[in-house]
Amino acid sequence: MAMTRGLPCVAVALIAVIFSDVVLGAALELQPSASIRLFYDDNAALTTQEHDFSAGSEFLGAVGISRETEAVTLQGIARLNLLLDAAGDVYRDKDNQLVSLLFASKGELSRWQVYGSWRRDSIVRAATVTQEGDANVEPDDDVDAGLVQVSIRRNRLVLRPSWSRELSPRSAVGVGYRLDHVVYDDSAEGLFDYQDHALSGYHFYRITERDQITTSLNLKSYRSSGGVREEGEWDNDRFNIMLGLQHSYSETASGHFQVGWYKARFANIEESGDTDGYLFRIYGEKRTGLTRFSARIGRTNFSSGAGDVVNADELSLSMVRDLTETMGFALSVRAFQSKSLRSDNPYTNRRYLALTPTLSWQITRWWSLDTSYRYRRQKRDWEINYDSAESNSVYLTVRYERPASL
């Protein structure tokens, strides 16, 4: 695939930036890490059919880079998940690779940045990026988790340039562009390659020290290729407008509220249609001396490998707590219900839940041990004769991570 052949170019470019003292005037901070993970999953594909368990071990190696000055910010990571041993066809021969880079330049009144990432993963085993760059860009939520019951390699390229300028001490404007390009190595029923282009603009105004209003406009264009190319491509063009209010309740608690409306048009060579509806998002976070908590609920549009754009009603919860100086506990919950904007595409209509508690132990400054359990549940609307699919998995991870200060 063309995208796969482009990986060496991305790697070379990343290495060149890492060792370029001319551009930034100083060396970058490198943060290498390595892990060995043991895993067991009784239903990795989230299938309602008869299935075997998946178990094995994998090596996770990564190098993070960072550089911060008054005018320039650079952050990046290169990561490889390499399966050492695996039982079960779902995991076999499905390694993950990830390269991401964020470069930002800040002037007296303006700021521009470019973010890019390349990921090679599968819907069953997704590669995630913890640092997605600009907060004004939509979060990278993978609504295709559990979409199909086979593990097919997925190549994802994301490119996001953006620019913002301060108009006054109280107001600012910004524009951004986002490209999502997804290609699958093999074909499967209900999976399609696609490109999604998004152009956005926003205006920010601070009412008081604790309150600010944001207005944003988004134009998006989705193009998917059918499993049989001669059948044509699905097009989906949509427009949305969002109005948001962000309020700081205290120095440790804040909330963000958004409401909006969208209009979408979809078509291929045989049919066309349009639809509209409302969007909203409520986000809040709270920090104490030992605990960090965040929650998000909302309805948004997402591009999907099902060959369509979907509406997703989503709830996300996250809690991290320090139990002792060396022990910590984390809990993450994600639930969503997705539905196609087209009434004739049943593959996207489903309900999904994932719950993951994790217990971590910082053995030394460089070494740590994590153990986690993940429960997943999914109900596909078109599988009317089957119960919900459930998955139980456990992980044990030994990690080495070089402190960034060294």
Coil, strand or helix: which one is 276? strand
In which element (H, E) is residue 203 found? strand 194-206
- When the pLDDT of each residue in the chain is averaged and rounded to a whole number, the result is 82
What is the DSSP code (8-state) at residue 251? T
Choice between 261 and 150, residue whose per-residue pLDDT is larger: 261
CB 194 within 8 A of CB 309: no
Choice between 327 and 54, residue whose per-residue pLDDT is larger: 327
Query: How far, in Å, are 140, 177, 246, 260 from residue 137 at the CA level?
Result: 9, 9, 16, 16
Give the model confidence (pLDDT) of 145-202 as tens digits: 666 666 778 898 999 999 999 999 999 999 999 999 988 887 666 678 888 899 999 9
Q: 8: how many CB neighbours lie within 10 A of its CB?
A: 9
Report residue 252 as tokens.
């440790």
Burial class of residue 181, CB neighbours in 10 A (0-12, 13-18, 19+)? middle
Least confident window among 57-61, 146-150, 231-235: 231-235
Strands (DSSP E) along 251-346, which ranges?
Answer: 253-267, 272-287, 291-304, 308-322, 327-340
**pLDDT, position 143:** 65
**Could you tell me which of 365, 387, 368 has the C-alpha nearest to residue 378?**
387
User: Per-residue pLDDT for 394 more than 60?
Assistant: yes
Give the model confidence (pLDDT) of 286-325 as tens digits: 999 899 999 999 998 888 877 778 888 999 999 999 999 9
**pLDDT, position 361:** 97
Q: Which residues pair with 140 in a beta bridge?
A: none
**pLDDT, position 137:** 36
**Could you tell me which of 150, 147, 185 has the C-alpha nearest to residue 345?**
147
Q: How far apart are CA 164 and CA 274, in angstroms?
A: 33
User: Per-residue pLDDT for 262 more than 70?
Assistant: yes
pLDDT band at 362 (very low <50, low <70, confident <90, very high): very high
**pLDDT, position 166:** 95
**Could you tell me which of 66, 142, 56, 131 has the C-alpha nearest to residue 93?**
56
pLDDT band at 21 (very low <50, low <70, confident <90, very high): very low
Which residue has 């994998």 as its token pair?
A: 58
Which residue has 């499967």 as its token pair?
A: 188
**pLDDT, position 132:** 38
What mean pLDDT do residues 376-398 have?
85
Which residue has 């085993």 as its token pair?
A: 125
Q: How far apart are CA 265 and CA 229, in angstroms?
A: 21
Long-range contacts (CB closer than 8 Å, 24 or more residues apart) made by 98-101: 98/127, 98/129, 99/7, 99/10, 99/11, 99/14, 100/76, 100/129, 100/131, 101/14, 101/17, 101/74, 101/75, 101/76
Which residue has 């063009």 as its token pair?
A: 237
**pLDDT, position 5:** 42
**pLDDT, position 23:** 47
Give the model confidence (pLDDT) of 118-128 as tens digits: 988 877 665 55
Which residues, 6 or more positions from 396, have their beta carbon under 8 angstroms from its beta carbon? Answer: 37, 38, 39, 369, 370, 371
Domains and CATH numbers, the chain: 2-401 (2.40.160)
Compute the C-alpha angle 378/380/384, nearest 5°: 125
